[in-house]
Structure 1
Amino acid sequence: MVSQLLRDQAPDLADLGIRAIPAPGSSNWVFRIGETLAIRLPRSDDCVADLQNEVQYLPRLPPHLPTAVPDIVATGQPSSTFPRPWAVVSWLPGDPPLALADSQQQRLAESLGRFLRALHEIDASNVPPGPGRWGYRCGEPVNDTTDRWVEQAAAELMDLFDPNQVSKAWRRLREVSAATQAACWVHTDLSEENLLVHSDGRLAGVIDFGGVGVGDRSVDLLYAWSMFERPARDVLRLASGVDDQTWTRARAWAFAGPGPLTIANYRDTMPARVDRLTSMVVRVAAEVDVELR
Structure 2
Amino acid sequence: MSKMHADEVDIDSVLVGRLIAARFPRWAALPLELVRSAGTNNALYRLGSDMAARLPRIPGVVKHQHKEQQWLQELAPHLPLAIPAPLAIGEPGEGYPWPWAVYRWLDGESAERQGISDEKQAVHDLAHFISALQRIDFSRWQIQPSPSSRSGPLSRRDRYVREAIAVNTDAVTRAWEKALQAPEWAGLPVLTHGDLLPGNMVVQQGRISAIIDFEGLRIGDPACDLIPAWCLLSRQTRPLFREALSVDNATWERGRGWALSIGLIALPYYQHTNPVFAVTARHMIDEVLADYE
TM-score range, shorter chain: 0.7 to 0.9
**Are 2:254 and 1:240 aligned?**
no
Equivalent of residue 67 in structure 1, options 70, 77, 81: 81
Change (3 A) 1:129 1:207: closer
Residue equivalent to 1:196: 202
Letter in 2 for 1:28: N
Residue equivalent to 2:153: 141
Letter in 1 for 2:139: S
**Are 2:268 and 1:264 aligned?**
yes
Equivalent of residue 219 in structure 1, options 213, 224, 228: 224
1:173-207 CA-partner distances (Å, limit 9, x unpaired): 211111122212211111100101232x3321111
Residue equivalent to 2:258: 253
Given that residues 38 and 89 in structure 1 are in contact (C-alpha distance below 8 angstroms), is that contact kept between their aligned partners in structure 2? yes
- 3-state SS, counterpart of residue 154 of structure 2: coil
Residue equivalent to 2:189: 183
Residue equivalent to 1:5: 19
Residue equivalent to 1:280: 284
Residue equivalent to 2:61: 47
Given that residues 21 and 32 in structure 1 are in contact (C-alpha distance below 8 angstroms), is that contact kept between their aligned partners in structure 2? yes
1:105-150 CA-partner distances (Å, limit 9, x unpaired): 111111111111111111122354525xx3241xx3232x322112
Q: CA deviation at 1:81?
A: 4.1
Equivalent of residue 16 in structure 1, options 21, 30, 52: 30
Change (3 A) 1:244 1:172: closer
Give, in whole Å, the separation in 2 of the partners of 1:7 and 1:136.
38
Which residues of structure 1 form unaligned runs of 5+?
Answer: none
- 3-state SS, counterpart of residue 259 of structure 1: helix
Alignment TM-score, normalising by the size of structure 1: 0.86
Give, in whole Å, the separation in 1 of the partners of 2:73 and 2:62.
18
Q: CA deviation at 1:234?
A: 2.0
Q: Alignment RMSD, CA only?
A: 2.0
Equivalences, count:
276
**Are 2:214 and 1:209 aligned?**
yes
Identical-pair percentage: 33
Letter in 1 for 2:84: P
Give, in whole Å, the separation in 2 of the partners of 1:129 and 1:20.
31
**Are 2:71 and 1:57 aligned?**
yes
Letter in 2 for 1:172: K
Which residues of structure 2 form unaligned runs of 5+?
Answer: 1-14
